[in-house]
Amino acid sequence: MKILVLNAGSSSLKYSLFQGDDSHLVAHGVIEQLAEHSERDHAWALAQTEAALIEQGYIRELGDCEAVGHRVVHGGERFQAPARITTEVLDAIKTLCELAPLHNPANLAPIQHIWTHYPRLPQVAVFDTAFHQSLPAYAYHYAIPQYFYDAHRIRRYGFHGTSHEYIAQRTASLTQVPRNQSHLISMHLGNGASVCAIEYGHSIDTSMGFTPLEGLIMGTRSGDLDPAILLYLINHLGYDPKELDTLLNKQSGLKGLVGHNDMRQLLDMADAGDTQAHLAIEMFVYRLVKTVGGYLAIMDNLEALVFTGGIGEHAAQIRERVIGRFPAHFGLKLDASANRKVAGETCISTADSRYQIWVIPTDEEWQIAQHTLAQLETK
């Protein structure tokens, strides 16, 4: 059994090949610097992927795989679970491009290429938004005229769903609480960052919204800000929609504050006395603690807080600052030694901490492979 997982971005294609009944990873790679309408497009990247897997002896052609699982960023309200690609599903994903114009077209490129060249090869779409379709209406609606939801489906969708779902599964196993009874807060912290409140194994709130721009301060994204700032930029500084999109998604966040979006570099700069880097880190931590604290206020119970993602898994200083920022009455207690020596899945709280605190490396590709297998088994 060979399952190929593809994660297509606007300028890159990540691939992972899983093999055997236990779905173990045997090959992984990233092809970067892709551009639409050039020789280095997604079709070219897929050919490079195929060549690499042939060279390593895993396949003779892509058609040797049992199935291909794709990360698709936006599934709207239509897709509440992964879906096997059909003509109808393909058309539906195309219509959702207007909700994710930077992501869904790129996700579609390898799907369409395989659909054309290997029509018998099963393909499965796994949606970032699907895990958050369990949000209650009061959590996903915005306080704008109802028309905009009815006519244009403007609402909170949430993202990083595959990562948060994986964390929910692993946390349930590690805490020995059945997933359908588990309560946790998952913090996916990387260049993109989001928090998810999970009750009884289901997402009940998440920090990203209509797009991945809402919520936490991120590497290059602003996160939450007063909407009137946009009006000011338009009316007084002459910004147009394209300039606003670039400003908020690519030039803001940590990069906008300091000029760099790599948290490791910011920590080094702060340690060397750079006051702007110190401020940016404080802002990042403060926004995160405020969000997590808000979720603690709405949850009936909690077993664990979980750090994941590049920053969450590797930045011990950030984890220490985050837990230390909570007032004592929250009862969170960090085991400093365990936090410094994290290796893989690690509990970093003390025995008398009110809630367990974990670092759990995410594995979105493995999760996509499992969903792909499940779709094959239902046919």
pLDDT tens track for 3-34 = 999 999 888 999 999 998 788 999 999 999 98
Q: What are phi and psi of 295, to 5 degrees?
A: -70, -35
Looking at residue 48, what is its pLDDT? 96
Active site residue 128: yes
Those residues with Cβ within 8 angstroms of residue 61's Cβ, 6 or more apart along the chain or in another chain: 50, 54, 118
Length of the chain: 379
Looking at residue 22, what is its pLDDT? 82
Concatenated DSSP letters of 261-300? --HHHHHHHHHTT-HHHHHHHHHHHHHHHHHHHHHHHH-S
Looking at residue 99, what is its pLDDT? 85
Say yes or no to pLDDT of 36 above 90.
Answer: no
Per residue in 48-69, pLDDT (tens digit) is 999 999 999 999 999 999 999 9
Give the mean pLDDT of 204-212: 96
Give the mean pLDDT of 197-208: 98
**Can you give the residue ranges of every domain in the chain?**
2-127, 176-359
Say yes or no to pLDDT of 227 above 90.
Answer: yes
Q: Residue 306 forms beta bridges with which residues?
A: 186, 358
Looking at residue 23, what is its pLDDT? 87
Instruction: Take residue 305 and report the two structure tokens written for it.
Output: 């807080």
Give the mean pLDDT of 117-124: 95
CATH superfamily, with its number, for domain 2-127: ATPase, nucleotide binding domain (3.30.420.40)
Residue 145 neighbours by CB distance under 10 Å: 10
Active-site entry in 22, 128, 150, 335 = 128
Looking at residue 272, what is its pLDDT? 98
Looking at residue 21, what is its pLDDT? 79
- Euclidean distance between CA atoms 46 and 57, whole angstroms: 17
Axis-axis angle for helices 275-298, 316-325 (nearest 10): 60
* CATH 3.30.420.40 given to domain 176-359: yes
Give the whole-number percent of the chain exceeding pLDDT 70: 100
Looking at residue 333, what is its pLDDT? 98
Say yes or no to pLDDT of 379 above 70.
Answer: no
Do the domains 176-359 and 2-127 match in fold?
Answer: yes
- Euclidean distance between CA atoms 34 and 39, whole angstroms: 9
